[in-house]
């Protein structure tokens, strides 16, 4: 198998991912993600990734050999790393930002922007690479002040509209959208008006 090439075995395997059953097909060269912690035999954690080196159906099982990204070769039967819904594996060609935490990609990375991204998860997404990091953005997903956009469109200035969108992106990626406690919503000036009554 040449580097980066996927063969055509297409071995069907029922897999258990996030509590749901999925039907996948795997071949030598496929990138896979381990979806459940298993510390006894395989010593893998949820989110660990690797490449299938061998895959062979048996009478009532599937024998897999996976090279993990940390260089280990793991050989196991699909049924040994499974529950009633299937084997704890899925394809790993694309990862969510949450799943990508702690991952280092030996090459380029490609991130699809969404409005859910803020400063913290953009940092995670854009710092997984060893070579280059690319972000793809649907301009229509960027919120731009309606009045400003209308004003610039009337001026027929494509360059100005693009600038507005860059500014919107820049602002979005500066924000933190972590969940706040109720007390954090109370402004500093209001705290002096709060009175604590204790019944004795």
Residue-wise pLDDT for 103-114, tens only, equals 777 788 899 888
Residue 144 confidence (pLDDT): 61
Distance CA 93, CA 76 (A): 22
Task: Between 20 and 140, name the one with better pLDDT.
Answer: 20
Q: Does residue 33 have a pLDDT over 60?
A: yes
Residue 52 confidence (pLDDT): 96
DSSP track, 23-50: EEEE-TT-EEEE-S-BTTTT-B-TT-EE
47-64 pLDDT per residue, tens = 889 999 999 999 999 999
Task: Between 112 and 102, name the one with better pLDDT.
Answer: 112
Q: Does residue 197 have a pLDDT over 50?
A: no
Q: Does residue 32 contact residue 92 with C-beta atoms inside 8 Å?
A: yes
Strands 31-34 and 89-91: antiparallel
């Amino acid at each position: 198998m040449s580097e980066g090439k996927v063969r055509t075995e297409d071995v069907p395997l029922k897999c258990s991912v996030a509590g749901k059953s999925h039907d996948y097909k795997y071949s030598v060269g496929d990138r896979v993600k381990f979806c459940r912690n298993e510390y006894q035999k395989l010593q893998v954690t949820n989110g660990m990734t690797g490449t299938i080196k061998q895959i062979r159906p048996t009478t009532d099982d599937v024998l897999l050999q996976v090279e993990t990204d940390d260089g280990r070769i793991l050989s196991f039967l699909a049924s040994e790393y499974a529950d009633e819904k299937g084997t704890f594996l899925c394809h790993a060609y694309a990862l969510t930002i949450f799943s990508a935490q702690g991952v280092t990609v030996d090459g380029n990375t490609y991130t699809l922007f969404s409005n859910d991204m803020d400063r913290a998860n953009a940092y995670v997404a854009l710092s997984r690479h060893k070579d280059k990091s690319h972000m793809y953005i649907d301009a229509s997903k960027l919120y731009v002040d309606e009045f400003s956009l209308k004003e610039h469109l009337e001026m027929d200035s494509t360059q100005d509209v693009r600038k507005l969108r860059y500014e919107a992106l820049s602002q979005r990626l500066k924000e933190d959208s972590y969940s706040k406690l109720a007390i954090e919503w109370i402004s500093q000036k209001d705290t002096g008006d709060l009175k604590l009554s204790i019944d004795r």
